Structure 1
Amino acid sequence: MHKFLSAAALSILAAPALATGLTIEVAGEANGTVQIDLFEDVAPGHVEQITALAEEGAYDGVVFHRVIDGFMAQTGDVEFGKMGGDMRRAGMGGSDRPDLQAEFSDIPFQRGVVGMARAQNPDSANSQFFIMFAPGEFLNGQYTVVGEVTDGMDVVDQIKRGEGQNGAVIGQPDVMQSVTVTD
């Protein structure tokens, strides 16, 4: 036993960490709740950043700015992606927190998997993330998997699709009205 900690304190420290998740209230063409289980054991740095931003309310009012049918829905630009902002810049920003080092895993990008968006540099993920509509094996080992949708894929499936090769959403995008952290 550690000389400074009681047996009770040591048992708490030895207990497994509580599972962390997100509850996202979506509004627009899609309306409803999406539950995400975050993989803190797979991508601890990314999960810490996402949960901190959610707890600060940074994701509240952020739109799904890039949505490609048969591929994925991207959101999380807390700098330029707020509802009412200049949507031409949505997807170009991040948070005031530092970019994250990649935490690649062997978890495949399947339907419902949540991954971190990034620029060309693998260590450039910050606040943006995407939810897969369908498998995307070409992303495996290239992007950090942070979680998976456990409830509400029917809501994800209804998110307004974008246009063109880059999937930019034209007009009124769907929005994450609120994002809260759950245990």
Structure 2
Amino acid sequence: MKTFYTLTALAFLAPLVSAANPVVEMKTNLGTIKIELFEKEAPGTVKNFLQYAEDKHYDGTIFHRVIEKFMIQGGGFTKDMDQKKTRPSIKNESANGLLNKRGTIAMARTSEADSATSQFFINTVDNSFLDKAEARDGVGYCVFGKVISGMDVVDKIKVVRTGIKGGMRDVPAETVEIISVKLVKD
């Protein structure tokens, strides 16, 4: 009878295991960050991010905007501050119920709600003003994952010295490179 219950429990849990969220590994010159992506809550955003990763778009880009008590932003510029070409923008999925808490990853965008392409940011503190419910524009910024290991690396990045470079503020004085972003768990 015990075997029956064990097998029944395993049969019940099997779909939960196979429905696990994808995980990416982001290697930087300051260490590795692993990020779980919330495919169910932000399907279009996760698909977009994974496509950029698969295309190696992020490889060799930098964290070009770093604000210690806010976030670290990357995915759009090379070391020479050249902006990378992107695919068309995606629909903002900020109404998914996920919040801009410390350690979450969200899509960067312009003032246009549906303007996100490749750039993302990792929240270094809770940023509730970026959530749909509190956003001034009523839209907010789409959270689509969270750091599951390597928050110490995020904390190293957030305190690098910054300045103005290429006409942009808050750029790290010493390059913080994203060496690669790869799917490690499907």
Work out whether the TM-score is over 0.5.
yes
Task: Give the superposition deviation at 1:98.
Answer: 1.4
CA contact (8 A) 2:162 2:173 kept: no
* Matched residue, 1:175: 177
* Matched residue, 2:71: 72
Task: Give the superposition deviation at 1:82.
Answer: 1.6
Deviation digits for residues 111-162 of structure 1, max 9, x if unmatched? 1010000000010000000001100110011010110000000001101253
CA contact (8 A) 2:63 2:74 kept: yes
Specify the code of the residue in structure 2 equivalent to 1:135.
D
* Matched residue, 2:149: 151
Q: Quick check: which one's strand share is greater? A: 2
Between the aligned partners of 1:161 and 1:173, the Cα distance in structure 2 is 10
Identity of paired residues, percent? 38
User: Any residues of structure 2 matched to 1:88-103 within 5 Å, and which?
Assistant: 90=83, 95=86, 97-103=87-93
User: Any residues of structure 2 matched to 1:126-141 within 5 Å, and which?
Assistant: 126-141=117-132
Bigger radius of gyration, 1 or 2?
A: 2
Q: Secondary structure at the match of 1:58?
A: coil
Between the aligned partners of 1:118 and 1:41, the Cα distance in structure 2 is 21
4+ residue segments displaced more than 6 Å:
none
Q: Quick check: which one's helix share is greater? A: 2
The TM-score with structure 1 as length reference comes to 0.79
Deviation digits for residues 26-75 of structure 1, max 9, x if unmatched? 11xxx211000001111111100110111111100110000001110000
The TM-score with structure 2 as length reference comes to 0.78
User: Any residues of structure 2 matched to 1:16-165 within 5 Å, and which?
Assistant: 16-27=18-29, 31-77=30-76, 81-83=77-79, 85=80, 87=81, 90=83, 95=86, 97-104=87-94, 105-141=96-132, 142-159=140-157, 160-163=160-163
Between the aligned partners of 1:38 and 1:47, the Cα distance in structure 2 is 6
Aligned pairs, how many?
157
CA contact (8 A) 2:25 2:183 kept: yes
CA contact (8 A) 1:161 1:167 kept: no
Residue 161 and residue 121 in structure 1: after superposition, are their counterparts in 2 closer, same or farther (change >3 A)? farther
Task: Give the superposition deviation at 1:170.
Answer: 4.5
Q: Which consecutive unaligned segments of at least 5 residues does structure 2 have?
A: 1-14, 133-139
Between the aligned partners of 1:73 and 1:94, the Cα distance in structure 2 is 21
Kindly report the root-mean-square deviation, in angstroms, between the aligned alpha carbons of the 2 structures.
1.9
Between the aligned partners of 2:162 and 2:44, the Cα distance in structure 1 is 30
